[in-house]
Structure 1
Amino acid sequence: MADAVADAAAYLSGMPATPVPLERTDRAPWVWVSAQALRSRVDAQALADAVREHPAVEAVAARADGWLEITLAPEWVDRTLADLAAPAGMPPAHLPAAPPAVLGRRTLDNPGFVVLLAHARACRVAGQALAGPERAGQATDQDDAGAFHPQALRDLSDPLDVVLLTEILDAPRRLVATAPHQCAAALLAVAAAYLPWEERCPAIATRPGESSTPQHWARARISAAGLGVLERGMALLGITAPERI
């Protein structure tokens, strides 16, 4: 989304524009703000009008301080989660593997272990999803997946859903090989949000006779995207993680 806003600013100014990362608000993961108009020295209202029809944008407003307030469309968020979950584009490991001593202390005060544990939990959820409802003893509905609507993502109201989705959407801009400290911080933020979420917010219907709901499908998408972010970040940092801990 930041690239699209920058492209619009470049069109308005007639000069190349460096994308300004969107910043979260207290209404994230749905509402974000951009300082692109200020950075590119273009009229904020004109920039808002230029990006209004972008598929990522559900609503946009120019604030009096020159910032744009952008509300993301659920359909775009759903596509972004799918892109993050896809295996294609996995970055190579440019840095040496982290020392085993750092990753070997299996306590939650060890950031490396938190990341590895979150990755293992996300792998477990992915395995349960692949097993299918029949393996889990659930009632099934072959139309469940096809009936999923991205609005189900917005309907998630648990604070843990909100926090994890925000961290996942904010992580990609920080997963760069040239800034390992930013990459590590993004990984830890996603991992720290994932662990309590996985315990309290089921992504898979596992109880006998339980049908998958739109809430389950939405959370399964979030979990898969979280796994993708963790795998990409660890690859950049040269960390190889087991699927089980």
Structure 2
Amino acid sequence: MIARELAGVLGEPPAPEGSWEREAVYVSAAALRRRLPAHMLADQVRAVPGVAGVEVRGDGLLRITVAVPGALLESMSVERADIPEPGWPDFPRTWDNPGFVVRYGHARACAVLRWARELGVASEGFRGELLDDPYDRRVLRALAEIPGRTVSREPGWETYLVRLALAYHDAHERAPAVPVGDEPPGPVHTARVRLAEAVRGVLPGPARI
């Protein structure tokens, strides 16, 4: 629930910063906007479970590091997000068409959920700390933008959806969510299936392409 709790303390969603490949960082200008002493607000943020550290930067922004970036999935709905679908054409179905890139990402996430059921990947026992592969973290980094974009007057959904889809395509291919070959299903697959659920709820598209 860390994303919601941070927004509750700050009064607004913090913005993810950096690649998250090595550490998951948010920044927030809440102290400046609310005209509060930055150090006082930083102390409140430090008390949020899951926060690994808070630093007051020279510009007055708070730099917030979270211990487990995968924990943000615990506060995300797996239902369809209320994001308008851009009017992309269905064809051509090539990587040059952003509509295909996004819709194929949705279809791939749906396929993961089907395969997970068939291969016996457990649906319970999600452990966010297992989403520590750089490809998983790239997807998490993109998903972390949703709260801030949702309240923005210029959310830029079209560009965002393509970027999330591309990150998920890489994760789908290089950090498999289902067992490969004779590999037994394990907790990491449960975590990655939960990641696929979150992506499916954000990217628009059909269940199959």
| TM-score normalised per structure 2 | 0.81
Q: Which residue does the alignment assign to 2:199?
A: 226
Say if 2:154 is the partner of 1:167: no
Amino acid at match of 1:104: F
More helix by share: 1
Q: Which residue does the alignment assign to 2:36?
A: 42
Is the Cα contact below 8 Å between 2:16 and 2:144 reproduced in 1?
Answer: no
Q: Which residue does the alignment assign to 1:242?
A: 206
**Percent pairwise identity:** 36
Q: Which residue does the alignment assign to 1:91?
A: 82
Compare CA radii of gyration and give the structure with the larger one. Answer: 1
Cα deviation for residue 244 of structure 1 reads: 1.0
Structure 1 stretches of 4+ with a deviation exceeding 6 A read none
1:130-151 Cα shifts (integer Å, max 9, x gaps): 2242xxxxxx8x7x943x5332
Mapped to 2, the partners of 1:3 and 1:47 lie a distance apart of 16
RMSD: 3.1
1:46-101 Cα shifts (integer Å, max 9, x gaps): 11002211235232222233111111242x743x31443522x75386x8x836xx
Amino acid at match of 2:146: A
Amino acid at match of 2:115: Q
| TM-score normalised per structure 1 | 0.70
Change (3 A) 1:90 1:190: closer
For structure 2, which runs of at least 5 residues remain unmatched after alignment? none
For structure 1, which runs of at least 5 residues remain unmatched after alignment? 10-16, 134-139, 235-240
Aligned residues: 207
Q: Which residue does the alignment assign to 2:161?
A: 187
SS at match of 1:50: helix
Is the Cα contact below 8 Å between 2:39 and 2:56 reproduced in 1?
Answer: yes
1:143-179 Cα shifts (integer Å, max 9, x gaps): x943x533222xx23x322211111121343247975
Counterpart selection for 1:81 from 70, 73, 84: 73
